[in-house]
Homo-oligomer: A and B are copies of this chain.
Amino acid sequence: MFMRMVFTVAVAGASGYAGGEMLRLLLQHPQAQIGAVTAHSNAGSTLGEHQPHLRRLADRVLQPTTPDALAGHDVVVLALPHGASGAVAAELAERDPATVVVDLGADHRLVDAADWVTYYGSEHAGTWPYGLPELLHTGEEVAAAQRAQLAGTTRIAVPGCNVTAVTLGLQPGVAAGVIEPVDVVAVLANGYSGAGKSLKPHLLASEGLGMAQPYAVGGTHRHIPEIAQNLRAAGAPEVTISFTPTLVPMSRGILATATARLVPGTDPAAVRAVWETAYADEPFVHLLPPGQWPTTAATLGANTALVQVAVDERAGRVVTVTAIDNLVKGTAGGALQSLNLALGLPETLGLPMDGVAP
């Protein structure tokens, strides 16, 4: 006889895109039971007004985001603005240290407090186990170290969406020593949901439809130190990254073109095998067959990352392209995958394996 454990989850920030996606995935998870759903300015309205795609939760009323509303759940997912999660997590830990807190925001991702200060301009809240199970650590079995950190943890810092895409693209080459992590260049095509529901003119449909526009150009994007941190984990002693995201007319998806110099003397023919080996056993990260390139459509709604790699011998660079759904593998899916590990559940439990295409 099968005894199914059920865990209760509260979601703070449930009227936004990250919170909404977390709810979508939790609804499909066989052991999750959705408890409180909270919001800030939208408190008091129904979830159906903000997430009309989640029919089964349409009548749920959003509570204000307070410790009282969130406490008493096995798991609390925080989809809050940067800087807000530290205090909430502390209060929840005081009430019940066993509560598992999953932070979809940036507050607890960076190891180096100086990076935080430089890019976010406030005091660092501390570092939590990093929710990218596939993160490579040099000298170890593929991804074993990261999964070990997540097993049984009560704190998960979910990676930034762009970070996940670029890291998954490049880390096999770094770990295997076939690419140089100095002078990495990454340019991303990003869907608009990555910007959240901010009411800004350049995010209007009238503007976004039919145009491509860059943002945070020239080394200012906050995901840069996080990518560097990951590539250092993979074995890079020093990392420099030129990183440029561009908004393109799609709601979801990241297509990351990340390129790095081939280490001189490396046999180009041997490069593909490095990526094949790294991801051979990964359930969510897939190296595509030669000649097939990732598209964001193939990942829509799924927790998958599609990766391809090519060597440009004339340019002396390895070019990787990675496609993910920014809200799934890039946010809520990666979070749930890590939460499964934290709770001792099968890593893939309840996670969507198939994209919705076309």
* In-complex Cβ contact of A358 among B224, B251, B295 (8 A): B251
Tell me the chain A residues, 140-189 only, with Cβ under 8 Å from chain B. 183, 185, 187, 189
A251, B210: Cβ atoms closer than 8 Å:
yes
Interface bits A204-244 vs B (CB < 8 Å: 1, else 0): 11111111111101110000100000000000000011111
* In-complex Cβ contact of A293 among B53, B189, B209, B217 (8 A): B217
* In-complex Cβ contact of A356 among B24, B203, B207 (8 A): B24
Is residue A354 contacting chain B, with contact meaning CB distance below 8 A? yes
Name A258's closest neighbour in chain B (CB-CB): B187
Surface stretch bound by B, among A84-92, A95-103, A305-313, A337-345: A305-313
* Alpha-carbon distance A30/B246, docked complex (angstroms): 38
Is residue A274 contacting chain B, with contact meaning CB distance below 8 A? no
Surface stretch bound by B, among A70-78, A120-128, A190-198: A190-198
A27, B358: Cβ atoms closer than 8 Å:
no
B185, A259: Cβ atoms closer than 8 Å:
yes
Is residue A257 contacting chain B, with contact meaning CB distance below 8 A? yes
* Alpha-carbon distance A253/B210, docked complex (angstroms): 8
* Alpha-carbon distance A308/B306, docked complex (angstroms): 32
Interface size on A, residues (CB 8 A): 96
Q: Which residues of B contact A315 (CB under 8 A)?
A: 183, 219, 240-243
Is residue A249 contacting chain B, with contact meaning CB distance below 8 A? yes
Q: Knowing A206-B203, A246-B189 touch, does A353 contact B55 (C-beta < 8 A)?
A: yes
* Alpha-carbon distance A321/B245, docked complex (angstroms): 11
In the complex, how many angstroms separate the beta carbon of A351 from the nearest chain B beta carbon?
12
B210, A208: Cβ atoms closer than 8 Å:
no
Surface stretch bound by B, among A5-13, A104-112, A131-139, A296-304: A296-304
Name A186's closest neighbour in chain B (CB-CB): B187
The 6 closest A-B pairs by CB, nearest first: A218-B310, A205-B208, A53-B355, A219-B312, A211-B297, A187-B187
Can you name 17 A-B residue pairings with CB atoms under 8 Å? A1-B1, A52-B288, A52-B292, A52-B357, A53-B298, A54-B354, A56-B354, A196-B206, A205-B205, A206-B251, A209-B209, A209-B249, A210-B250, A213-B296, A218-B311, A243-B315, A246-B257
